[in-house]
Amino acid sequence: MPRWTDAARAKQAALIVRWKPWQAATGPRTAAGRAKAARNADQGGDAGRAHRLAAAQVELAEALAKVQRLTGRRRAK
């Protein structure tokens, strides 16, 4: 990584002010995108495990509901 001199740092700051990169930054636009971005830090550790556990519980509940629907249809015949 290059060492920045005071002159180089001032020149870069002036360029950035002229360039205005913050105006092009949009971030996530949809609710799903915002929710995904909010979970960016939840990839490891306890928070990540808790998120994966919650997702697995939802998946299990959906699977059990599907099994109940399928077995209920067979009994009705």
Q: CB neighbours (10 Å) of residue 51?
A: 13
Residue 1 has pLDDT above 90, yes or no: no
Q: Is position 77 within any domain?
A: yes
Give the Cα separation of 58 and 17 in Å (integer): 47
Q: Is position 71 within any domain?
A: yes
Which range of residues forms the domain containing residue 60? Answer: 43-77
Q: Is position 20 within any domain?
A: no
**41 with 48: CB under 8 angstroms?**
no
Query: What local confidence, expressed as pLDDT, does residue 49 receive?
Result: 81
Residue 41 has pLDDT above 90, yes or no: no
User: Which tokens hold the place of 3?
Assistant: 């060492």
Q: Is position 70 within any domain?
A: yes
Give the Cα separation of 68 and 63 in Å (integer): 9
Average pLDDT over residues 54-60: 94
Number of compact structural domains in the chain: 1
Q: Is position 3 within any domain?
A: no
Q: Is position 13 within any domain?
A: no
Residue 10 has pLDDT above 90, yes or no: yes
Residue 75 has pLDDT above 90, yes or no: no
**61 with 69: CB under 8 angstroms?**
no
